[in-house]
Structure 1
Amino acid sequence: MGDVRVTLAVATVLRVFLDDIARPRYGYELMRLTGFPSGKLYPLLARLERAGWLTKEMEDVEPAAVGRPARRMYRLSEEGTQAARYELARLTEQLRPAVAGTPRLRPEGGRA
């Protein structure tokens, strides 16, 4: 499985998948849930797929019957689920308030 740099955008996408790991997601749905445009979302999905974190398959529908083309459905792989949970837990830990006595960063720069 490949390494993925977990940026805020990647974490946002992973959070959507972790909300219901059994549910496959499609691009437009992910764009609505993340607020990302297609030009930002699809490169992230491709990177996660290349790393083995996501699997992609075509929806099994008859386009004429549903009145639209079949969708590409994305789902976290087993390895991707474990990696996503680990990475999001790590980010959450990094964002926790510092222990008392530890210098805090000030919004304007420097330490408090």
Structure 2
Amino acid sequence: MRKTHALIQVILALMEDPGGRHWGYELSKQSGVRSGVLYPILRRMLEEGWLEDGWEDPSEISDKRPPRRYYKLSGGGQAALAAILSDARHDARFRALVGRPAQ
């Protein structure tokens, strides 16, 4: 997958809670990536096997909205995204997002 600022921003948002369930709207707000860019990134991450997805249990919904789709990092996905962030720390294009590598 091509490394872009949007990809790194989404990875950073996912890695803030690597064991949690993430909603698309929440990821969009947290990462600052608009939905038209976010959802294709999430689809590619699903295809790579980095994410798992599912639907919110309707019995857990208190209001009348439809169930939301969630995304969760797979075991291999967590390792793959950590590796991408590590590489990004050594790439000058992404230093403003991820910081400098440890010396």
Coarse TM-score class (shorter-chain normalised)? 0.7 to 0.9
Distance 2:67 2:52 in 1: 16
Among 72, 76, 96, the residue aligned to 1:79 = 76
Q: Sequence identity of aligned pairs in percent? A: 36
Partner of residue 97, structure 2: none
Contact 1:63 1:69 in 2 (8 A): no
Normalised by the length of structure 1, the TM-score is 0.75
Normalised by the length of structure 2, the TM-score is 0.81
Partner of residue 12, structure 1: 9
Distance 1:44 1:21 in 2: 17
**Number of equivalences:** 94
The CA deviation string for residues 19-64 of structure 1, in whole angstroms up to 9 with x for no partner, is: 1111111111111112222111111110111111111100113376
Partner of residue 62, structure 1: 59
SS of the residue corresponding to residue 86 of structure 1 reads: helix
- C-alpha root-mean-square deviation of aligned residues, in Å? 1.9
* Unmatched 5+ stretches in structure 2: 93-99
- For the pair shown, which has the larger CA radius of gyration, 1 or 2? 1
